[in-house]
Amino acid sequence: MVNVRQSVFFSASTAFYFTHCVGIQGPFQLGFLVFTAPTMLIIPTSIGEHGRTMWTMGPNKLVFNTVQALHDIYRNERFTKSHAYLVGSSEPGVYGIFNAIDKQLHQRKRNLVSRVLNERSMRSFEPIMQHQVNILVQQLRRSCDGSQPRPVNMTERLKYLAMDIMGQLAFSFPLKLQTETTHRSVVASKAHFYLNLGMQLPFLGTLSLVRLPFLRSQFRGGSYFKSLETMLRSRIAGRDNKQDLLYLTDRLSVSEDDEVLLREMESEAVFFLSAGSDTISTTLCAVFFYLSRNPECYRKLTHEIHSTFNSESDIRNGPQLTNCHYMRACIDEALRMSPPLPGTLWREEAFEYRNAAEPFMVDGHIVPRGTQIGVNAYAMHHNEEYFPDSFTYKPERWLPDSPEAARNNRNAFAAFSTGSRGCVGKAMAYLEASLVVAKTLWYFDFEQASDTAETVGGPTPWERENGERGTEEFELRDMFVADHDGPHLVFRPRQTNIGGDFGANRDEKTSSL
């Protein structure tokens, strides 16, 4: 999976980047590097047949790579989220759904969030989603103006889209990133980087180095927290609108004081903005990347969309959309190859079980007390035992009656995790991704922009030199939620749509939840 040279390079460069960002220089920088780099070192020790079952990753961390382990760890009462998740707290004692380790508190939060993300609420939220997708279509059409279409960086476009949708769902706030520049700094935040650093090095969290007040000081005078505060203040002012995601924080808050409430909402808000938008934009970027590199998949999907719908207005939540099985397979295959949360979701034994007599077993191994354990989604999705030819994009793996499907193990799919802490926004994610893919292919043909083909995906010069990667994968940088760039694509209106209005006049009225 990862060799020692890469691991040393990764740990040293991460530590260097961190010191650089926080302005530690000179002898202190050197001291910090010497102190932290070894703790980040991935020791590529493997146990089990063919070295695929388990890795040690640091002094007390085990990463498993089997379906049984996925079940044993994430569907097990005895385990809870690792204390590393606490680095996301704004202050001690303030927890959001993401980092609530106490099971009862988590269950209460989850029940409330589920009310906003259920099927019924999604139906009433769909017009807002459709409106934003139509704006995306308009923006893509604009890239076709002039004699030569301009390449579009899909990471940029899709981040704006997904964040605009999330701003509405979480805060009932129109961020307008797709069309205006005022709040665009919310997509350029380095919050993920610090969160990931704290998750991998929890002692930094204990020292409060990567907690929110620290993050805020990093953006001092900058606009990320300014935009966040604007959204939250507007949300507090309009408390009557109780149906958005921050409804849950209101309900569980004990505070009458608006300033305290603001701080409490902050950690929840940072999480929702990222969980509900960066994950979807990564998924969509990966889908567009793979379609632009796999002409046969592109052809089959285009055919499915144009033979399923009679008009653009048919493209909405309902049986026609859910019957686009090839589209769903394209999305799942992109999620398999490039999972938006590509790393290990750390778990540890829950406090209540610390004195239990019987040892804890994961896939037949006794796990020593106090060990951090988990399954790494990226490694699992590239385990040849479960997904043969795992570096090749093959949507057919996910079509139940295809010969490819029989050779794959769908239970090894971990993009949304599983169990009581598995993703609660899965239905929304599939709906949003399906609407974007179907509408884009309804209106446009697209292809990879020729001048940027070398810079996104594919092996890096170092990997090519060492013969390490011959296949094209959408490149992700693991920042807990992945960071990425591109793909850069060129769009052309489909023949049938030339001269059409591209959905401009069919925009549903934007309603609030």
Q: Which residues are annotated as a binding site for heme?
A: 423
Nearer to ligand HEM, 231 or 415 (CB): 415
Could you list the residues that contact ligand HEM (CB under 6 A)? 97-98, 110, 113, 117, 272, 275-276, 279-280, 283, 340-341, 345, 415-417, 421, 423-425, 428-429
Whole-number minimum distance, CB 466 to ligand HEM, in Å? 30
**Phi, psi (5° rounding) for residue 34?**
-65, -35
Q: Are 21 and 51 in contact (CB under 8 A)?
A: no
Nearer to ligand HEM, 97 or 324 (CB): 97
Whole-number minimum distance, CB 482 to ligand HEM, in Å? 10
- Alpha carbon 400 to chain centroid, angstroms: 26
Nearer to ligand HEM, 36 or 277 (CB): 277
Annotated binding site: 423
Q: What is the rounded distance in angstroms from the CA atom of residue 151 to the CA atom of residue 169?
A: 30
Q: Are 482 and 105 in contact (CB under 8 A)?
A: no
Q: Give the CB-nearest residue to ligand HEM.
A: 425
| Sequence letter at residue 6 | Q
Whole-number minimum distance, CB 216 to ligand HEM, in Å? 23
Nearer to ligand HEM, 144 or 380 (CB): 380
Nearer to ligand HEM, 137 or 331 (CB): 331
Exposure class string for 393-412: b at 16+ Cβ within 10 A, else e: bbbbbbbeeeebeeebeeeb
Nearer to ligand HEM, 143 or 168 (CB): 168
Whole-number minimum distance, CB 317 to ligand HEM, in Å? 14
- How many CB atoms lie under 10 A from the CB of residue 180? 11
* Contacts of 144 by beta carbon, 8 Å cutoff, 6+ apart: 444, 491, 492, 493
Whole-number minimum distance, CB 224 to ligand HEM, in Å? 19
Whole-number minimum distance, CB 353 to ligand HEM, in Å? 19
| Sequence letter at residue 128 | I
Nearer to ligand HEM, 117 or 232 (CB): 117
Exposure class string for 49-78: b at 16+ Cβ within 10 A, else e: eeebbbbbbbeebbbbbbbebbbbbbebee
Q: What is the rounded distance in angstroms from the CA atom of residue 76 to the CA atom of residue 377?
A: 18
Whole-number minimum distance, CB 276 to ligand HEM, in Å? 3
Closest CA to 99 of 266, 244, 214: 266
Q: What is the rounded distance in angstroms from the CA atom of residue 361 to the CA atom of residue 344?
A: 19
